[in-house]
């Protein structure tokens, strides 16, 4: 899932200071699961932002709250999200993709983020989400025991650990395990250590988006020509 953290309330308040009517929109997908952007969090944020202490130069805006199951789908947003006519701006409790989708759907109305999008992660234990994936576009988990060295190695190494890892712990942060130590023991438990004999060539980072924003086109939808992943056309 996409994990996000709430921005400092002071920063959010500064972005809406001087406005009259702000709609706080929660997102019911990833950020609801990681307890940072659902309906409950949207209502809590609206209550917090209503306090006059954040607005020394004038009265606080009036806050309304709404939500939608996914802010990252424009058709869904346009069909099911209704904005009060007096809305001055939208405050989005979604990832950066959701913020930009709302901004496209309701342009030229300003849409501001209330979260910092942090990483693609998973819930490892109650209340703790850890990064698992960078969305690099060329997944190698079949060869690394389903442990991603791109996201989980501090140096994103492809051919084993660096010389600084000690006792199975990361050189950069000794509080976290070395990703390649985890890969080794996972492959050992699967009797697949032979995979470590292969030397991986230098990484091609183009599928990771280094040639511009990525686009996926799927067959069978609106006459699309075929499955592909290509750089975005900025005019589309």
Lowest-confidence pick of 4-13, 204-213, 214-223: 214-223
Nearest to 136 by CA among 156, 117, 162, 115: 156
Per-residue confidence at 235, pLDDT binned at 50, 70, 90? very low
Question: Measured between alpha carbons, how far is 21 from 30 in angstroms, rounded to an integer?
Answer: 27
For 162-182, what is each residue's pLDDT tens digit? Answer: 999 999 999 999 999 999 999
Q: Residue 115 in contact with residue 7, Cβ under 8 Å?
A: yes
Per-residue confidence at 234, pLDDT binned at 50, 70, 90? very low
Mean pLDDT, the chain, rounded, equals: 90
For 52-78, what is each residue's pLDDT tens digit? Answer: 999 999 999 999 999 999 999 999 999
For 68-122, what is each residue's pLDDT tens digit? Answer: 999 999 999 999 999 999 999 999 999 999 999 999 999 999 999 999 999 999 9
Q: What is the DSSP annotation of 173-197?
A: -TTSB-HHHHHHHHHHHTT-GGGGG
For 125-170, what is each residue's pLDDT tens digit? Answer: 999 999 999 898 888 898 999 999 999 999 999 899 999 999 999 9
pLDDT of the residue at 201: 87
pLDDT of the residue at 222: 58
List the domain boundaries for the chain. 2-119, 134-197
Nearest to 35 by CA among 129, 118, 111: 129
- Residue whose pair of structure tokens reads 């802010």 in the numeric block: 71
Question: Measured between alpha carbons, how far is 104 from 62 in angstroms, rounded to an integer?
Answer: 24
Orientation of helix 9-16 relative to helix 39-49, angle to 10°: 70
Question: Measured between alpha carbons, how far is 32 from 122 in angstroms, rounded to an integer?
Answer: 13
Question: Measured between alpha carbons, how far is 8 from 5 in angstroms, rounded to an integer?
Answer: 9
Per-residue confidence at 217, pLDDT binned at 50, 70, 90? confident
Q: Residue 181 in contact with residue 165, Cβ under 8 Å?
A: yes
Structure tokens of 58? 């004038």
pTM above 0.75, yes or no: yes
Q: Residue 80 in contact with residue 40, Cβ under 8 Å?
A: no
Which CATH number, 3.40.50.2300, 3.40.630.10, 3.20.20.70, 3.30.70.360, labels domain 2-119? 3.40.50.2300
pLDDT of the residue at 188: 96
pLDDT of the residue at 230: 57
């Amino acid at each position: 899932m996409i994990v996000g953290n709430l921005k400092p309330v002071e920063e959010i308040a500064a972005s809406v200071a001087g406005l009259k009517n702000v709609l706080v929109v929660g997102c019911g997908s990833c950020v609801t699961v990681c307890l940072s952007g659902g309906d409950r969090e949207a209502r809590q944020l609206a209550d917090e932002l209503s306090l006059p202490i954040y607005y020394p130069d004038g009265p606080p805006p009036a806050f309304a709250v709404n939500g939608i199951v996914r802010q990252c789908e424009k058709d869904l947003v346009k069909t099911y999200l209704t904005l009060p006519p007096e809305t001055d701006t939208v405050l989005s409790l979604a990832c950066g993709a959701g913020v930009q989708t709302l901004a496209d759907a309701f342009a030229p109305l300003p849409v501001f983020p209330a979260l910092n999008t942090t990483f693609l992660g998973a819930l490892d234990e109650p209340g703790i989400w850890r990064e698992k994936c960078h969305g690099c576009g060329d997944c190698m988990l079949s060869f690394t025991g389903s442990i991603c060295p791109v996201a989980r190695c501090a140096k994103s190494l492809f051919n084993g650990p660096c010389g600084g890892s000690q006792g199975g712990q990361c050189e950069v942060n000794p509080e976290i395990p070395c990703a390649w130590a985890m890969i080794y023991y996972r492959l050992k438990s699967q009797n697949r250590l032979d995979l470590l004999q292969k030397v991986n060539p230098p990484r091609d980072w183009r599928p990771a988006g280094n040639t511009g924003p990525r686009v996926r086109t799927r067959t069978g939808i609106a006459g699309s020509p075929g499955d592909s992943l290509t750089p975005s056309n900025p005019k589309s």
